[in-house]
Chains A and B, each alone.
Chain A
Amino acid sequence: MVNYATAAVDQASVMRGLVSKTRVPLGSEIYNRLLETLYDEAAALDERRFDDWIALLATDLIYTAPVRVTRSGANKDRDVMRTMMHFDDNYESILMRTGRLSKSAWAEDPPSRTRRFVTNVRVAECEAAGEYEVSSYLYVERSRFDVAHNETTSAERRDIWRHVDGSYKLARREIIVDQSTLGMSNFAIFL
């Protein structure tokens, strides 16, 4: 368990990318299906089909986005702070957020026009049968109102997808954003 009792940056960790050594090769059936699922997910979010997105989520979902901190010297790579997050959600709170988006959520009404670009997908087998680690890069272009320049964000996503009844469900997602100070005005969109 993460020690939530301190704000001191010694709690920062390096971990990113894949943990499992059992790779699922690019071009294999499982890899292709997972890649297709990531593309479907991006389309559902870009098209604001939140019910379709929720259908891709496992009910034991953990969805987080730790903050990044600029470090130097011996600790320069220990820059992912899991004691503080931009998202700290589970299945119920995601339902609360999507429910809100269907009512008076002015942050997305009028809605943003978004493009989620998903690349650099790497897949490995987890210890639990039917579960896969999926690491991907995410780049989001977000257009608000009639403002002529987009807000953008880039991140690595460390996911666990679970094979359930012929399709894949998202069980865990950690979004590792690249900015320590976000240039996006809010995260009223999902990453």
Chain B
Amino acid sequence: MLQKATFTLSDGSTLDDLIKRDSNEVSLRVMNDEELYKLEMERIFAKTWLLLGHETEIPKAGDFVVRDMGEDQVIVTRDRNNEIHVNLNVCPHRGMKVCTAEAGNAQAHRCIYHGWAFRPDGSFIGAPVEKEKMHGNLLSKEQLGLKKARVQLYGGLIFATWNIDGPSLDDFLGDIKFYLDQLFCRTDSGLEMLGPPQRFVLPCNWKIPGEQSGSDGFHTLTLHRSLMEGGIMGGTPESIYDNAPGMYGVDVSDKHGHSLRCLEAAQTFKMFADVSFEGKSVEERLNLLPPPGITKELIPQLFKNLSKEQVEQLATIPPQVGGIFPNILLAFIFAPRTDGGSSGALALHTYVPRGPDKVEFINFIFAEKDAPEQVKRDMLQNAIQQTGTSGIIEQDDADTWPQIMRNSRGTVSKTITLKYQALHGHERPENWYGEGLLYPGFTKDDTQWNWWLAYYDLMAQA
């Protein structure tokens, strides 16, 4: 029984007209629509958990970075008690930004307009000329702090939400956590960000990269054809579609719209084509081919931090690419180098809406904190060369997405639908430990369709 959508756009369209759940189609017009965008900001970006950064960006008391939750700017701080806070970067006095830098260290954030000052935890210190009580006599100092978001950390990642009484981050990550742990919670010291993020703005709606992050594996074969031509992925330029490197694995997702693609290295990359795990123990597999970002010295830590089942999966068919709803992409990939090495590239992106026709692409690059310095250096270089601003993979995405949005404006074009009709259907593979919706075999549209169903669910709730 389909539930009824709870909004009607000014031209009479309802959510069910836009997301056609009986035929697995989405109207192209959703990719640039002012009215829909405003609803998305209220019903998705002001409601759900959003990723803002990583605790290693703000290691000391008073450290801060400025980030965005939808179009609401926030200050992410660490206070003297080592607690992380996320506060709206809006002075409750006259609406000025309290913090005009992108990052730094401050024990107090003093608004440059009239001088109201706030502690890293967001609490109000006072206004200048204390004896004149320039914050007035209607509200107490306790009532004049910066508006606070609810904060939760996972694997050092800083998540926040305005939904103060909503589901916990654990509930939100749900079944996908079993797989995410294998990437974010696998070593004693955890991950660290290697530098501040790359940031750039694309002329496209946030949902175009958003839905791709719902584990669109299939586009790799054509859009990222240069990976096959360059000899990085398996196969030859002539036989790309016959070999279909990187297409076969197990896609996992869940009802919240998160998803991951779990792939065997041998199936994906030419340089690992001869690596066989046949008859080898988990330890032997890990030593033969450590998963992306893991070095041989770190292998014992995996057994300490993960369950037996999680280590076995990581050793055999590790999660490599995927997304967390609504606007996060993760790529923890094997990254063969021109010098023959392959220490992997660990990148996480958020796609932050900047209006219905713009998105900010933020690229966070990681390594394991306990990895050797040279490995971190190589991994930084791998990630920069493959992902983000100049990355040879994502250059092609950045040039494709704006053209989809341009099409979504045409009177006739916007009636075209995006089709998610190549479906596999949930099927539990043999010897599989994790939960969630599972799609073994060739990567299909299931996980991306689940992304749209999660979008539908949030958009249907006022």
A positions within 8 Å CB-CB of B = 4-11, 65, 67, 69-73, 75, 81, 83-89, 92-93, 96-97, 99-100, 103-108, 144-145, 180-188
Check A4–B392 contact: CB distance below 8 A: no
Check B399–A70 contact: CB distance below 8 A: no
B positions within 8 Å CB-CB of A = 54, 56-60, 63, 99-106, 192-203, 223, 225-226, 229-230, 237, 338-339, 360, 365, 369, 373, 376-377, 380-381, 384-385, 388-390, 392, 394-396, 398-400, 402-403
What are 23 A-B contacts defined by CB distance under 8 Å?
A4-B380, A6-B192, A7-B54, A9-B104, A67-B196, A70-B101, A73-B101, A73-B104, A81-B195, A84-B194, A84-B380, A85-B195, A87-B384, A87-B390, A88-B384, A93-B381, A96-B338, A97-B392, A104-B225, A181-B200, A187-B389, A187-B390, A187-B395
In whole angstroms, how far apart are the Cα atoms of A99 and B198 in the complex? 25
Measured between beta carbons, the chain A residues less than 8 angstroms from B403 are 145
Measured between beta carbons, the chain B residues less than 8 angstroms from A184 are 200
Check B377–A106 contact: CB distance below 8 A: no
Measured between beta carbons, the chain B residues less than 8 angstroms from A11 are 195
In whole angstroms, how far apart are the Cα atoms of A154 and B380 in the complex? 24
Check B194–A7 contact: CB distance below 8 A: yes
* Interchain nearest-CB distance for A59 vs B (Å): 13
In whole angstroms, how far apart are the Cα atoms of A124 and B156 in the complex? 46
In whole angstroms, how far apart are the Cα atoms of A96 and B54 in the complex? 32
Measured between beta carbons, the chain B residues less than 8 angstroms from A88 are 380-381, 384-385
Check B394–A84 contact: CB distance below 8 A: no
The 5 closest A-B pairs by CB, nearest first: A84-B195, A83-B195, A107-B395, A7-B193, A182-B200
In whole angstroms, how far apart are the Cα atoms of A144 and B59 in the complex? 41
In whole angstroms, how far apart are the Cα atoms of A44 and B413 in the complex? 39
Check A185–B398 contact: CB distance below 8 A: yes
Tell me whether A69 and B102 are in contact in the complex, defined as CB-CB below 8 angstroms, given that A7-B195, A185-B398 are known contacts: yes
* Interchain nearest-CB distance for B399 vs A (Å): 4
In whole angstroms, how far apart are the Cα atoms of A8 and B63 in the complex? 8
* Interchain nearest-CB distance for A40 vs B (Å): 23
Closest to B377 in A: A4
* Interchain nearest-CB distance for B133 vs A (Å): 27
Task: Out of A9, A83, A87, name the residue touching B194 (CB < 8 Å).
Answer: A83
Measured between beta carbons, the chain B residues less than 8 angstroms from A99 are 230
Check A181–B360 contact: CB distance below 8 A: yes
* Interchain nearest-CB distance for B438 vs A (Å): 32
* Interchain nearest-CB distance for A103 vs B (Å): 5
In whole angstroms, how far apart are the Cα atoms of A189 and B195 in the complex? 23
Measured between beta carbons, the chain A residues less than 8 angstroms from B203 are 185
Check A83–B196 contact: CB distance below 8 A: yes
Closest to A191 in B: B390
Task: Out of B60, B103, B200, B369, name the residue touching A69 (CB < 8 Å).
Answer: B103
Check A185–B402 contact: CB distance below 8 A: yes
Give me 5 other A-B pairs in contact (C-beta within 8 A), A84-B194, A145-B403, A188-B399 excluded. Answer: A6-B56, A87-B384, A185-B399, A186-B390, A188-B390
Tell me whether A5 and B200 are in contact in the complex, defined as CB-CB below 8 angstroms, given that A71-B104, A83-B194, A88-B384 are known contacts: no
* Interchain nearest-CB distance for B269 vs A (Å): 16
Check B201–A106 contact: CB distance below 8 A: no
Closest to A76 in B: B101
Task: Out of B223, B360, B373, B384, name the residue touching A86 (CB < 8 Å).
Answer: B384
Closest to A86 in B: B389
Residue from A7, A8, A67, A75 with most neighbouring chain B CB atoms (10 Å): A7
* Interchain nearest-CB distance for A60 vs B (Å): 14
Measured between beta carbons, the chain B residues less than 8 angstroms from A10 are 105
In whole angstroms, how far apart are the Cα atoms of A88 and B385 in the complex? 7
Measured between beta carbons, the chain A residues less than 8 angstroms from B193 are 7
Tell me whether A72 and B395 are in contact in the complex, defined as CB-CB below 8 angstroms, given that A7-B56, A85-B384 are known contacts: no
* Interchain nearest-CB distance for A172 vs B (Å): 16
Measured between beta carbons, the chain A residues less than 8 angstroms from B395 are 105, 107-108, 186-188
Measured between beta carbons, the chain A residues less than 8 angstroms from B199 are 67, 180-182
Measured between beta carbons, the chain B residues less than 8 angstroms from A85 are 195, 380, 384
Residue from A67, A87, A106, A108 with most neighbouring chain B CB atoms (10 Å): A106
Residue from B105, B195, B396, B398 with most neighbouring chain A CB atoms (10 Å): B195
Check B398–A107 contact: CB distance below 8 A: yes
Measured between beta carbons, the chain A residues less than 8 angstroms from B63 are 8
Check B338–A180 contact: CB distance below 8 A: no
Closest to B365 in A: A84
* Interchain nearest-CB distance for B371 vs A (Å): 10
Measured between beta carbons, the chain B residues less than 8 angstroms from A96 are 230, 338, 385, 392
In whole angstroms, how far apart are the Cα atoms of A109 and B105 in the complex? 44
* Interchain nearest-CB distance for A144 vs B (Å): 8
Closest to A103 in B: B229
* Interchain nearest-CB distance for B190 vs A (Å): 13
* Interchain nearest-CB distance for B178 vs A (Å): 28
* Interchain nearest-CB distance for B103 vs A (Å): 4
Tell me whether A71 and B60 are in contact in the complex, defined as CB-CB below 8 angstroms, given that A87-B384, A96-B230 are known contacts: no
Check A72–B100 contact: CB distance below 8 A: yes
In whole angstroms, how far apart are the Cα atoms of A71 and B402 in the complex? 31
* Interchain nearest-CB distance for B241 vs A (Å): 13
Task: Out of A4, A67, A103, A106, name the residue touching B399 (CB < 8 Å).
Answer: A106
Task: Out of B202, B338, B396, name the residue touching A106 (CB < 8 Å).
Answer: B396
In whole angstroms, how far apart are the Cα atoms of A34 and B196 in the complex? 34
Tell me whether A67 and B385 are in contact in the complex, defined as CB-CB below 8 angstroms, given that A105-B226, A186-B395 are known contacts: no
Check A107–B194 contact: CB distance below 8 A: no
In whole angstroms, how far apart are the Cα atoms of A188 and B376 in the complex? 24
In whole angstroms, how far apart are the Cα atoms of A188 and B394 in the complex? 10
In whole angstroms, how far apart are the Cα atoms of A145 and B104 in the complex? 40
Task: Out of B60, B192, B388, B390, name the residue touching A5 (CB < 8 Å).
Answer: B192
Measured between beta carbons, the chain B residues less than 8 angstroms from A8 are 56-60, 63
Tell me whether A181 and B396 are in contact in the complex, defined as CB-CB below 8 angstroms, given that A84-B194, A96-B230 are known contacts: no
Tell me whether A9 and B394 are in contact in the complex, defined as CB-CB below 8 angstroms, given that A75-B104, A185-B399 are known contacts: no
